[in-house]
Every structure is written in structure tokens, then in C-alpha cells.
Structure 1
Amino acid sequence: MRGIHTLLRLLAAVFVAHLLCSTGTAKVTAGKIKKFLDTDNHTNNWAVLVCTSRFWFNYRHIANTLSMYRTVKRMGIPDSHIILMLADDVACNPRNCFPATVFDHPQKTTDLYGDNVEVDYRGYEVTVENFIRLLTGRVTTNTPRNKRLLTDDKSNIFIYMTGHGGEDFLKFQDSEEINSYDIADAMQQMWEKQRYREILFVIDTCQANTMFSKFYAPNVLSIGSSEKGENSYSHYHDRDIGVSVIDRFTYYNLKFFESVDMSSKHTMADLISTYNISLIHSTPGVRTDLFARELEKTYLTDFFGAVQEIELTAEPYPIGKNSVS
């Protein structure tokens, strides 16, 4: 990947030099050349959405994940850049009185399951091993494209996890656990292998903030739903379905995102400022010491959007044989 970037930079330099020599004009400034050759900005966004629970009574965790999936798609990230790990066992569960549907609100205005959900890791494929292999790229040669995180050093990655957890661990389908050291080491491997530029890690579980306490890889912004010793609480019990349909922390994050679109200038600081302990019933945590940018200057679309910036000029550029823009 680094060799490709070097080749592109050399080709760009040759192109700009040719323009300067052929026109003899000063319109191509040093600043424009630097901006043209600058490859530090990120070029793509990815999302890894993981529900680590299964069984009917964990309906809300599936709804959490599908709600976040719907949001990142609405913000512009295509399915080709979303990895969805889901037990996928409630929509067609015999106890579901609304077959083939998943809702996150008792009013049932939005069917999260819908007709356009692409689950990449389903059922018993949602394991600790598969999750770590996905992040680090250590998948087998016969792994299909939709099960690969095809990121590079220009990728921003949003990782969302929800399920049952405790201090420094998160359960995977009641059969195994992943701990904070496992994820921390996986992210360091990702950094060493140039698999990301920045990571936004969000987790909704009991004692969630302990899950990013061991992180040490750079350029990682972490947000959790609850402090050590605190539970993460459910929201909106549905009497028809018979279970709670979403967790409080995820619900209030999604409520903020409903007012955001792909052209939004809202920042991570704007999102975090909306956290209200009296509504969430736990203490959200934010870890910024590994993140290089200020939250006030980090747009939500830096992780969720798929819109490229367009530079508009006040003066029209001449189009002709000897003109340069």
C-alpha cells in the first residue's frame, strides 16, 4: 500500500512540473502543489457493528445494532463499507408476534429489519476469534470480500459494540468473552499494519468504560455508556413484544443523529455535550488522550459521512491552451 502511495505522489509531481514548465505561469502556487500532493487526509469511512448477544430476551441488543446500522447507512456509508455482526435470531423467533421485524420503539414506526439489511457475520459466526481476525486482517484466503475489513492508512473506522459485559470483559453469545487487553492489542496491530487513520470506538454495555481503559494505539477516540461498577440500562419496554427494545445510551445517541445529515457540521463535542446522566441512568465516559484532534474540530461526518469536500472559487478559471487551474 505504501508503494502505491509513493508512486501516486511521484506521478502527481511530474504532472504539476509539466504544467509549470509548459505554461510559465505563477498561477500554480506552492500552496496548491502542497495541497495536491498531500495524502494525509482520510479517503474513506468504514463501520464495524457488533452485537455480541443472542436469544430472545436480548432483543434490545439486536435492535441497538440494527438502529446504528440504519443510521450509518443514512449518513452515507454504503453496505460495502459496513461489517455487521449479528446473531440474527429475533426477527423470525416464534415468540415474535410481528414476524420478520425488529423495532426499537413501542410505536413501531420503523422496521429496522426491513428489506435491505446485509448481515455479514450471522449466528455462530459472531465469535471473538472472527472479530479479532476481522480487525487485524488475519482472515483465511477463502474469506469472501463482505467478511473483510478492507481498510488502509487513510481509513476512518467506527466500531460499535453492544451486549452483556463487566469490568474489562464483554460476553460473546454467552459462550466466550473478549477482554479489554484483547481489543487493545488488536488495535495496536491494526496501527502497525497501517489499517486505519483514526478509530471511533463506542460501546454500550455494563461497566463499558473499562473496555477501553487498556487501549494504547494512537488516534483512537473512545466512548462508553457506563463507568466501572455501573450498569447500562434498557429503555422502552414493549408490552406487545414482551421485552425492552433498546438501551438508553444507544437511544440518546440515535436521537441526536436523527437531526444530523451528510452535510452536517456537528462535531463530536456537540454529540458528547448532549449526554445527560439523569436520562441515561449511567455515566458515559470519553477517552481522548490517544486522539490527536480536538473534539470541537472533529466532525461527525469524519466517521459517519461519505461526502467529499468541494472547494469553490470566487473567480472563474480560464479554459484555454495556456490556462492552468
Structure 2
Amino acid sequence: MKNMYGKLLWLLVIFVAKCLADGQDTSVLPEGYVDAAQRSTHTNNWAVLVDASRFWFNYRHVANVLSIYRSVKRLGIPDSQIILMIADDMACNARNPRPGQVYNNANQHINVYGDDVEVDYRGYEVTVENFVRLLTGRTQNGTARSKKLLSDAGSNVLIYLTGHGGDGFLKFQDSEEITSQELADGIQQMWEKKRYNELFFMVDTCQAASLYEKFTSPNVLAVASSLVGEDSLSHHVDPSIGVYMIDRYTYYALEFLEKVQPFSKRTIGEFLQVCPKRVCISTVGVRKDLYRRDPHKVPITDFFGAIRPTRVSTDRINVTMANEDDFVTNEKELPFKKPFKIVLESQFPSEFFK
């Protein structure tokens, strides 16, 4: 046995010596290993979308979160894996001239409230305590399954926050605050309890970058609409209702997302550049030192889409057919069948504002 180990050790020494003699760098990993590190290993996607503001003059914050909600649903994340928190019901506000409707542009192109919106936490349920409990999995007894973040070690989690903030805090309900340290602690607990694989933290508020300064947990990528000391500004007013419709950063983020399809090759790296200062007026902040992958090699759908391939069709489908070839056919051979094509109405055509 000792002779065998001695021979193996001697062969290893010869191999290393040969590599050095040939000028090869033995410290460089094989290309396959490098590529594998850049690929995502997640198995499911979740989204936590929070509007923390009350009162009619904060209409735009509800429009912000509902617009992001519509985008992630369009790209395939089901309602069962989206937690939607809205602090005030603008659709039913007495000042709303269009009851039951919320728009994100003055042209009133599409109602983002819609008939298929599932709000999980509404009104005074949107508190700092409930938000932290949601992240850490410490919901109170009796909490409905639909109100729980049931993510695991294979989950990519998107967290989107909008509201009023300051240096190191975000206001909830205009009566309490969550601090950057509390956010960092909550995400740290998520990591320790294996509640995410990778996490994308996105916040649109004044001095938003201060909210990710305390983060230390691995595999976290963060983007903020403004740096410390800067305000995050609104985009435009609807004169018919007298309030701002959407914030600038979220507007340009949505303009990007509306061009993304479920099988798109657009990347998170591109998304991080959607709002330069000349259009945002504030400086977008990015925190990527905790993130192990190159954002320019990460598909946008790793966070904003579904992990399963999804196709949407307005045509009638025979679900008894067993083969994929039965569904997608050559139109020349069978003109009565049409190939699948995603046709969805644009959320808000940006050309209206050019």
C-alpha cells in the first residue's frame, strides 16, 4: 500500500514539473469549471413586491409596484410565488375618478390593477414586522400559505421596494421605518436558513442606496434609484387626477422590461444601466461586490421570469396531443394551425412621451 501511494505521489510531482517546464499555469481552472460557476443553479423564482406608502398623493408608489407585478407575471412567475404588499388601496380611494382602476401613465393605456391582481398584504397589514417575518419565514400562526415566502436554497428571489426613504431607512405607512441594518439582518437570516440561492434587491426611493450599505450576505445583487443625499424623482403628472403617475427609475426599468420576452437573452447587466442620470436626474447605485457572477452573463429572466419554459397563446390548443410537434407546425403544411407567438399588449408605450 505504501509503495502504491509513493508511486502516485511521484507521478504527481512529474506532472507538475512537466506543466511548469511547458510554461503552463497550473493555478488556472479548466474552462468548463469557470463556465459552470457563471451558470445559475436555481430551481425556482420568487418575487416580493412592496409599496410602503399611504395617502392619495403617493398614487405613483402603488403604480410602481403594480407595474413591476404585471411584468414578472407576464414573464412567467405565477401568483403563488409572488408576494404583493400594498399599503393603500388607490383603486378604491374616494378621490379616484376611475374607481377600481390604477394607471401608470397619463394616457391611461392599461389598467395595471386589473381583474387578476392578487394582493397578499393590504392596507395596515403592510408593516415592518410583517415584512421582516415574511423574509425570515417567521410568520405568525394561522398565516395563510399564500402570504408566506416559501423559498428554499434553490430559489432566486427578487425584492422590490418603493416608497419614501431617507439616509438608512424606508418609511412604512408614514408611521414607522425599517432601517438598513434591519434589512441586512433579515437577508442574513434568509441566507443562514437557506431561503435563497441568489437575491436581487431593487429599491426606488430617495437616498435608496443607503438601504443596501449594511448588506454582508453572499449572492446578493442590489440596485437603487438614487445615491445617499439624492432624491428619487417622479416622471409625469396626470392633470385629470392631479397626481404623479410613476417614478422615473421604475418608468425606465419598465421600459426595458416591456421589451423582454420569456426566452430573451437580455441580461441583468443591461438592466442595471437602464436609467442614466440624464434621464433619471438621480444617480442609480449598484452593489455587486457580494454577487459571484458577472451580471452581463446573467439572463434578466433569472430574477424576473419563470424557471420553467413558458409559452402563451391566444389560440385554442388540443391538450390531448402528446408530442410537441403536434403543437408547433409548419403553416405551409397545415395552414389551419399556427405556431405559438407571444402577443401581449404593451404596458405603456414610451413613444407617447417622446
Q: TM-score, normalised by structure 2?
A: 0.75
What is the rounded CA distance, in whole Å, between the counterparts of 1:263 and 1:229 in structure 2? Answer: 38
Q: Does 1:302 align with 2:302?
A: yes
Any idea what SS the aligned residue of 1:249 has?
helix
Any idea what SS the aligned residue of 1:47 has?
strand
CA shift, 1:309, in A, is 6.8
> Residue in 2 aligned with 1:181?
181
What is the rounded CA distance, in whole Å, between the counterparts of 2:103 and 2:241 in structure 1? Answer: 9
Q: Where do residues 208-247 of structure 1 align in structure 2 (5 Å cutoff)?
A: 208-247=208-247
> Residue in 1 aligned with 2:202?
202
Given that 1:262 and 1:307 are in contact with CA atoms closer than 8 Å, whether structure 2 keeps it comes out as: no
Any idea what SS the aligned residue of 2:272 has?
helix
Give deviations 1:120-169, integer Å, cap 9, x for gaps.
00000000000000000011231111110000000000000000000000
> Residue in 2 aligned with 1:69?
69
| Aligned residue identity for 1:148 | K
> Residue in 2 aligned with 1:148?
148
> Residue in 2 aligned with 1:86?
86
Give deviations 1:216-241, integer Å, cap 9, x for gaps.
01100000000110000001100001
Given that 1:91 and 1:113 are in contact with CA atoms closer than 8 Å, whether structure 2 keeps it comes out as: yes
> Residue in 2 aligned with 1:123?
123
Given that 1:56 and 1:89 are in contact with CA atoms closer than 8 Å, whether structure 2 keeps it comes out as: no
Given that 1:101 and 1:112 are in contact with CA atoms closer than 8 Å, whether structure 2 keeps it comes out as: yes
CA shift, 1:296, in A, is 1.1
CA shift, 1:80, in A, is 0.2
Any idea what SS the aligned residue of 1:91 has?
helix
Given that 2:53 and 2:88 are in contact with CA atoms closer than 8 Å, whether structure 1 keeps it comes out as: no
What is the rounded CA distance, in whole Å, between the counterparts of 2:57 and 2:75 in structure 1? Answer: 30
Give deviations 1:256-307, integer Å, cap 9, x for gaps.
0110011001111111233211111100011000001001111111111114
Q: Does 1:102 align with 2:90?
A: no
Q: CA RMSD in A?
A: 1.4
> Residue in 2 aligned with 1:193?
193
CA shift, 1:98, in A, is 0.9
> Residue in 2 aligned with 1:291?
291
> Residue in 2 aligned with 1:31?
none
- Note closer, same or farther for the CA distance 1:309–1:245 as it changes in structure 2 (3 Å cut): closer
> Residue in 2 aligned with 1:138?
138
Given that 1:234 and 1:246 are in contact with CA atoms closer than 8 Å, whether structure 2 keeps it comes out as: yes
Given that 2:262 and 2:309 are in contact with CA atoms closer than 8 Å, whether structure 1 keeps it comes out as: no
Given that 1:263 and 1:307 are in contact with CA atoms closer than 8 Å, whether structure 2 keeps it comes out as: no
Q: TM-score, normalised by structure 1?
A: 0.82
What is the rounded CA distance, in whole Å, between the counterparts of 1:43 and 1:62 in structure 2? Answer: 30
What is the rounded CA distance, in whole Å, between the counterparts of 2:88 and 2:180 in structure 1? Answer: 25
Aligned residues: 272
CA shift, 1:189, in A, is 0.4
For the pair shown, the structure with the greater C-alpha radius of gyration is 2
| Aligned residue identity for 2:140 | T
Q: Where do residues 46-61 of structure 1 align in structure 2 (5 Å cutoff)?
A: 46-61=46-61
Structure 1: any 5+ residue segments left out of the alignment?
Answer: 1-39, 311-325
| Aligned residue identity for 1:186 | G
Given that 1:88 and 1:123 are in contact with CA atoms closer than 8 Å, whether structure 2 keeps it comes out as: yes
Q: Percent identity?
A: 58
Structure 2: any 5+ residue segments left out of the alignment?
Answer: 1-39, 311-354
Any idea what SS the aligned residue of 1:83 has?
strand
